[in-house]
Amino acid sequence: MKKIAVFTSGGDAPGMNACIRAVVRTAIFHGIEVYGITYGYDGMIAGNIKKMQSHSVSNIIQRGGTILKSARSEEFMTKEGRKKAYDQLKALEIDGIVAIGGDGTFTGAKVFFEEFGIPTVGCPGTIDNDIYGTDYTIGFDTAVNTALEAIDKIRDTAAAHDRIFFVEVMGRDSGYIAVECGIGGGAEFVMVPETETDLKKVVKSLKNLRKSKSSSIIVVAEGDEEGNAEVIMDQVKNKVNDEDKEFKVTTLGHIQRGGNPTARDRVLASRCGMAAVDGLISGQSNCMAGVVNGDVIYTSFEDCIGKTKPIKGDHLKLIEILSI
């Protein structure tokens, strides 16, 4: 292993820069040349590949986003596009790749390895925390804390005006952000894609809560089967049928992707970045470096992509109990 390349792909996540930094400096520590690929798989195809030094990653551990940029590549989904990417890497004699991203990134890396055999180790970079093979993903903790800060402020204004707020957080296929924000923010209800939302129960509970609470917070993951926060609010409002009660919606959106990563995300990203390089050196390939129960483990891309990571039932039960 003499030369490796690193790239970020898919949705950006706070902590990706910390991961890039760890990859670059671990590689240099072991005497390996390291190259950065800008704009993900698109950049790989176009040959946007530059050698990196230790100073290339100075003063980035605290920054959100990714200095290597990110993009989704339709061309890489084709065999011709992947062949172009392979030719660019071989021209520079790249021996291995570190891919920082989520399901889509790992799916592409798996196919690329099967076709061309360049060893690849992934790092779990996504705010959704929906990747099997790691307890937490890079960016999740920051996203939760960003959303929680907003929910705390919404709680203040909700209480001041006796309003019911529906707060929409990210999570198209995963409700991890919604659940942790719900617990940490004292939400009365949390709606997630993993469980079926019972709107009748929500309406009944809201009517009962009016006797003891003047305001309520309902956290909605954007991928809930009943729709987004606006759609759900309209349904609940019509069924509650209380002209004296105000209903409001706040969609937090991409604010959850930005901002300085928390200490937890910086440490996780650094551990995964180092483990990815160590894995390549020791012969690991077509897998992801994650942290489970405090230990670094390697999980095949096939399992990362194919297996689900369910939300713990006691988390959902905790919200129900603490909301009374």
In the chain the beta strands, taken as DSSP E runs, fall at 3-8, 33-37, 49-52, 96-101, 120-124, 163-169, 189-191, 216-221, 246-251, 287-292, 295-300
Q: Is 23 annotated as a binding residue?
A: yes
Q: Is 21 annotated as a binding residue?
A: yes
Q: Is 171 annotated as a binding residue?
A: yes
Q: Is 264 annotated as a binding residue?
A: no
Of the listed 128, 141, 224, 265, which one is catalytic? 128
One-letter amino acid at 258 equals G
Q: Is 102 annotated as a binding residue?
A: yes
**Whether 109 contacts 20, CB under 8 Å:** no
Q: Is 20 annotated as a binding residue?
A: no
Instruction: For residues 29 and 4, give the distance between their C-alpha atoms in angstroms, rounded to a whole number.
Output: 13
Q: Is 254 annotated as a binding residue?
A: yes
Q: Is 100 annotated as a binding residue?
A: no
Q: Is 97 annotated as a binding residue?
A: no
Q: Which pairs from 48-54 meet CB under 8 Å and 24+ separation?
A: 49/5, 49/88, 49/89, 49/92, 49/94, 52/6, 52/24, 53/24, 53/28, 54/24, 54/25, 54/28
- Reading the block at residue 20, the tokens are 């890039």
Active-site residue, 128 included: yes
Q: Is 72 annotated as a binding residue?
A: yes
Q: Is 58 annotated as a binding residue?
A: no
Instruction: For residues 305 and 238, give the distance between their C-alpha atoms in angstroms, rounded to a whole number.
Output: 40
Binding residues for substrate: 126-128, 163, 170-172, 222, 248, 254-257
Kindly list the catalytic residues.
128
Binding residues for ADP: 21-25, 155, 186-188, 211, 213-215
Binding residues for ATP: 11, 72-73, 102-105
Binding residues for Mg(2+): 103
Binding residues: 11, 21-25, 72-73, 102-105, 126-128, 155, 163, 170-172, 186-188, 211, 213-215, 222, 248, 254-257
